[in-house]
Amino acid sequence: MTVVVGYVPGPIGEAALQAALAEADRRREPLLVVNVGQPDAANDPRFLDEGERIRLADRLLFEGAAFEIEQLVRGREAAEELVAEAERVDASLIVVGLRRRSPTGKLLFGSQAQRVLLDADRPVLAVKAPH
């Protein structure tokens, strides 16, 4: 089995990655890092550029993790891609990062993390970034 983590550059992605690394180590499972971009990924700040991808891979190698980094640009929502990848690899756990939002923001804009929580057929660990 595999631990799958949704990763975006920044504090939210870092919090999710740290939790996923700890879970993968505890479970003795490999890690699948999923980074989703929109069709115009070159202008998407959530999508890793080549340098960020190399730095992430180097960091995971340094941590001693067994890992794969999957970058997806298929025009689907991040939550949909994350759940599909978890199903594809028969993940034991999905890890997602959460950001703070107002109650109105939650109502009006939805949440990719919330969609993963509702759509996944396996355990999901939701992690908040430290302040």
CATH of the domain at 32: 3.40.50.620
Q: How many residues does the chain have?
A: 131
Tens-digit pLDDT profile for residues 59-105: 999 999 999 999 999 889 999 999 999 999 999 999 999 987 666 55
Rg of the chain over CA atoms, in angstroms? 14
Q: How many helices (H) and strands (E) does the chain have?
A: 5, 5
Residue 33: what are its φ and ψ, rounded to 5°? -95, 120
- pTM over 0.85, yes/no: yes
Q: How many domains does the chain have?
A: 1
Half-sphere exposure of 14 (CA within 13 A, CB side): 9
pLDDT at 110 over 80: no
Residue 12 structural domain: 3-128
- pLDDT for residue 1 is more than 80: yes
Higher-pLDDT residue of 121, 107: 121
